[in-house]
Chains A and B, each alone.
Chain A
Amino acid sequence: MTATVSLAAPQPHADLNPLPDADFRAAVRNWIAASYPQELRSPPKRLHAAEAMPWYRILSQQGWLAPGWPRQYGGMGLSPSKLLIMIEEMERYGCARLPDTGLTMVGPLLIAHGTDAQRAYHLPKILSGEIIWCQGYSEPDAGSDLAALRTSAVREGDQWVINGQKVWTTLGMDAQWIFVLARTDPRAAKQKGISFFLVPMDTPGVTVRSILNIDLHDEFAEVFFDDVRIPADAIVGEVNEGWTIAKNLLGFERLFLGSPKQSEGALDHLERLCHHLGKSGDYASLLNGLRMELEDHKSFYTTFADRVRRGETLGPDVSMLKINQSALYQKIADRIMDVAGELGTLAGQVPDAPTLYPGSVFLQARPTSIYGGSSEIQRNIVARQVLGLGR
């Protein structure tokens, strides 16, 4: 079995789990070096879907888009240790982040809670890149207090009619579909009257307006729903059960957001920056300390990823993973600014070293402690639901 996988050019869709980890790493490294579009290496900003598509398609053809999905649904079914190797190799090569909401959220959600018809329609379209997804949870007055959301869905005949506004929708300008939490029972208690919908963005009544982020990038958007009509089967799970589904999805989201990916990329950036400044020796102790922290975080990540692989649903303790990852990522980003000196003041790339953009790395690390449940909210969850403190 192992003998059939060429480490120089691993076959598309081959099962790589039987490979020893070292061979797997070699295969991934070789393949990335041979396949990655050079013009997309280490982009200073998150790519829009159209820009990232060439890489998305290359991964799709190789069958490597969804390393964590089970093989039966077109994923790689990778073990956590191999998943980590893949993350390391991609971050070190400077592979761009994909428009990954479908891959990290919608796919796992439909695998767990979707109907056969939803799975059959959507999973292949995520894996081919035909449908890029975005997440419609937050509203202007429902951020941390997500259950205060006011977007409504009313049943009329065999349709749902959605009205309201979502905000901070990442890649909302790029997506073909959005998943939406909407209130279906205004009289029920806050969390009880919410349902989960899948909505094509080209439905009449959907309007999108982009928002510039602090790094002057139109990475997120406002999405308005004005009498948007969708079919009855656009719901995931039961009516008024959306909160439970959303909470299960948060487990996947927090596992993904707790992955060492961003910290790995940032530490690599810091190492290259020190090298560029001719100061790798001066900062050896700093770099070593951060490297050890990152490896510890990977161990932490593996304990959660192992549980998912065994088919367990993650509990509120996965919040700790997300808190630690964003704290580590931001700590590395802070050190990047400390080391960069005047290079950290530049709005773009360092002129004679275009894969370095310390200021942008610092800014892009800011929201990780805000989105997907802020670090304060995650701490509240752990305090109450894991430690049994408080209400």
Chain B
Amino acid sequence: MEKLGERALKEIEEATSLAALEEVRLKYLGKKGEVTGLLKTIGSLPKEERPAFGAKVNALREAIEGHLKEKTAFLERKALEERVKRETVDVTLPGNVPQVGSLHPLTKALREIVQIFYGMGFTVYESREAETDEMNFVKLNLAPGHPSRDAQETLYLTETTLLRTHTSPGQIRGMLDMKGKLPVRFIVPGRVYRRDQMDASHSPVFHQVEGLVIDRHITFEHLKGCFLEFARGFFGPETKIRLRPSYFPFTEPSAEIDVSCTICKGKGCPVCGRTGWLELSGAGMVHPNVIRNGGYDPDEVTGFAFGFGLDRAAMLKWGIDDLRVLFENDLRFLRQFEGI
């Protein structure tokens, strides 16, 4: 029996493949195997020898099984290692690319803007695009015959209705919806229309973002602070702003807001006309008449408003030099905004 054991262990040792090992297993532990055969002889032994014999054979079987298991694991690992060594792919081949979409740069820019203003306590007010002459002009101190009406070439629908020339009627509608609650802090993003031919910097259809704040104790200094925070958030923390007197019938005092050039950082380049500054926004303290038209008392509250071109802001942010590409929707353009 001992010899059988030694022989079995030696054969296990010498087996070099899983198949050879299986043969060894069958030879000794299979139904007709030698160890199995030994067990079958147990019946021919005297009764008192049987337990000892049985224990011995079982010990032998367990020893062989143990070695088989060990050797199997060894051979399996070896086979796996060899397979891994053989297997290789050309990793420079392209992978299976999932299809990625993109947001339009105007939406991307607007989302950033909206987030910055959320941080300053603003909400979003959406206002209609087809407007009355009354809302678009008269309620904003632009009575018929006002010279500023000419500057805004208007697309009229009827004698009294038009496509809004600016997002400013949203100031009136927004205030009226607030019904006297304070503070008023909202932005009005949206599409506006002018009677302009399409070229690199004009379009009959473009977009603006209007902002309005009405409260007690709002001054020109808050306008400056609020816009500075926005400009830094949108164009980068080193951005500077500059306010120049200007004129809008619905604000007084009025200002033109320049931001330091996003391209040259204020040093002067062709984009900013070598001035280091880019005109971005019109702004000012809300005219008392406009506050009144929004259902608030100008003797009790003051406020500021601003409005700027979303298209222009997006163009400056991403260095787009022609307004038309925003509306052409060429795939080669749109693709560049994946993930931005």
Check if A and B associate: no
Q: B residues touching A (Cβ–Cβ < 8 Å)?
A: none
